[in-house]
Amino acid sequence: MPQKVLVLGSGPIRIGQGIEFDYSCVHCAWALQDMGYEAILLNNNPETVSTDFDTGDALYFEPATLEDVLDVYRRESPIGVAVQFGGQTAINLAQGLHDRGLNILGTSAEAIALAEDRDQFERLLRRLGIPKPPGRAVRSLSEALEVAEEIGFPVLVRPSFVLGGRAMEIVFDAEQLRRFYRIAEDESPGQPVLIDKYMQGIEAEVDVISDGEATLVPGVMEHIERAGVHSGDSMAVFPPVNLSDRVISRMVAAACDLAREIGVRGLMNIQFVVAPTEGSGGEAVPQILEVNPRGSRTVPFLAKVTGIPIVDLATRAMMGQGLSELGYESGLWRLDARGRLHGTVPEVQSKYKGTVLSEAEISRLADGTAVSRSLFSGAPFYAVKAPVFSFQKLARVEPSLGPEMKSTGEIMGIDSTFEGALYKSLVASGISLPTGGVVVISVNDADKPAAIEIAKSLSARGHEIACTGGTHRTLQAAGVGSQRVAKISEGSPHLLDLVMSRRVSLLINTPGTDAETEAEASRIRRGCIETGVACITNIDTAEALVKALPFFEDPLGVSCRRLDEYFGQ
């Protein structure tokens, strides 16, 4: 009789944990069946594929709680539990299950604890020489104020062990810290609150597959929005467009070192911020923001655009097979029509041809002893992942973006050019730019220099620009024409009246720190949602839209092909 494996799902779909994790659970179950095991699924969401009656060999429609998992375990007697594919809900059960004698398959409970325990993990990073933004875990407001004073504002405040960046906030002074510390503390009672220096740089992330020794990095994704926007709410591009080969190599080398030291067997996700550090001489270097010893929401996206069967490989690594015996090497995967198909087992063969840049060569690129290889210069396409929001259905949700996740889905745009992929992803996520109409720009002081270039591009293409006082004066000083529109507090007719008149085609409004101004801005953003006006609350997203302007004017300029046509294979 086949041995059984219990696969934990992620439970109800909610912000921070969506259908992407169900993709991983389902592919894990299918991989287990291909290996000759019985796949027992535990999940309680009727809107998922994992709860279809024929996905696994058995289904338990129960919540992923310690008590329910133990009940199923006693009934089915599986050889172990797979916790790494069901998001944070499943991985949070690892220690409790281990303490009760259950076998955690793949990455052990001790390894998961090492990656998620702040003190242990920081000691590991120091030993490996991998940088991270300065900060500490604290257990009181006085400690938090002390750390913030030591590392300097702004700081990122976040609770431990939460989904989707819940209760995270960037704070700019001690008064804000006092207000938000209690919220973070209440979100995860009994757990420390994390206080980190907020680094404004390019954010990037990698998903890795490891067998405990060898580690394959299927791809590196660059976020279009700078650090400070939750990864689930930010747009991401593969392959990267602004990261140097040395930065990419350092990220891959760090991922390989961490996977080996932690003892990852299966999947791991790492998020980086690329910014100068003390002692780097102004050079931007990748610093670790977060490590998750589990599958992430980017796994389906990366599997589709690289052709690597990520979950299938991770499942086999979890069950004890080595990457080398599956036909893969340790290093960075690159699509290459001159390469070859990888994988010795049909179920884990790469869909497209490619090469693996070995870990040894990655190390030489990272330390500067090897000449740059232009790692992704021959990419046959660009793919952009963009978030989808449901603000019209979530009436009380503030639509501005920050560390707390708010998106309810995601889409992908793929094209032979980066700008074309941006256009497709923006349109698919609900952002359009009709010809005619007014583009309103009202941004905080830090974003005003970027707003000048955005307004120049929009104006040059015939769009009428309207701005609130401060932004209007900035554009005037730069020689960019705009119409001044009053704030709500300045009396009617004001900006909200203009939005509700349905003459506005796009609003670019980035949040500030002044409470009164933000209260007005929130009303205006909500007005955009009610009238169906596209509202962009991050200056990096606005800059991305400007890059795609030629395709908004002439959509026939983008390509329309099947995926295999982009790969040319």
Is residue 414 a part of any domain in this protein? yes
Is residue 254 a part of any domain in this protein? yes
Identify which of 93, 59, 97, 32 has the alpha carbon closest to the alpha carbon of residue 319. 32
CATH of the domain at 231: 3.30.470.20
String of b and e for 165-202 (b: at least 16 CB within 10 Å)? bbbbbbbeeeebbeebbeebbebbeebbbbbbbbbebb
Cα(286)–Cα(201) distance, integer angstroms: 10
171 and 49, same structural domain?
A: no
Query: Cα torsion for 24, 333, 272, 116, to the nearest 10°?
Result: 50
Residue with tokens 């980017």: 298
What was the pLDDT predicted at 371? 64
CATH of the domain at 94: 3.40.50.20
21 and 161, same structural domain?
A: no
Q: Tell how far CA 55 is from the center of its chain.
A: 28
CATH of the domain at 150: 3.30.1490.20
What was the pLDDT predicted at 237? 96
350 and 454, same structural domain?
A: no
370's torsion region: left (phi>0), alpha (psi -120 to 50) or beta? beta
Of 367, 390, 405, the last residue of a domain is 367
What was the pLDDT predicted at 219? 95
- In sequence order, the 6+-apart residues with CB closer than 8 A to the CB of 303 are 218, 309, 310, 311
Is residue 237 a part of any domain in this protein? yes
Of 160, 178, 197, the last residue of a domain is 197
Q: What is the DSSP string of 469-529?
A: HHHHHHHHHTT---EE-B-GGG-SSBHHHHHHTT-EEEEEE---S-HHHHHHHHHHHHHHH
414 and 496, same structural domain?
A: yes
- Tokens of residue 568, six digits: 């040319």
Q: What global pTM score does this model have?
A: 0.91
What residue ranges of the chain have pLDDT lower than 70? 16-17, 161-167, 279, 370-373, 378, 395-396, 568-569
* Number of domains making up the chain: 4
Cα(484)–Cα(324) distance, integer angstroms: 64
256 and 275, same structural domain?
A: yes
55 and 100, same structural domain?
A: yes
- In sequence order, the 6+-apart residues with CB closer than 8 A to the CB of 478 are 452, 456
Is residue 64 a part of any domain in this protein? yes
Is residue 567 a part of any domain in this protein? no
499 and 399, same structural domain?
A: yes
Q: Name 80's bridge partners.
A: 5
Is residue 117 a part of any domain in this protein? no
* Amino acid letter, residue 376: F
235 and 146, same structural domain?
A: no
424 and 400, same structural domain?
A: yes
409 and 531, same structural domain?
A: yes
Residue-wise pLDDT for 24-77, tens only, equals 999 999 999 999 999 999 999 888 888 888 899 999 999 999 999 999 999 999
Cα(305)–Cα(179) distance, integer angstroms: 42
CA 149, 150, 152, 158 dihedral sign is negative
Is residue 112 a part of any domain in this protein? no
Range of the domain at 181: 134-197
Is residue 113 a part of any domain in this protein? no
214 and 189, same structural domain?
A: no
207 and 189, same structural domain?
A: no
Of 344, 367, 390, the last residue of a domain is 367
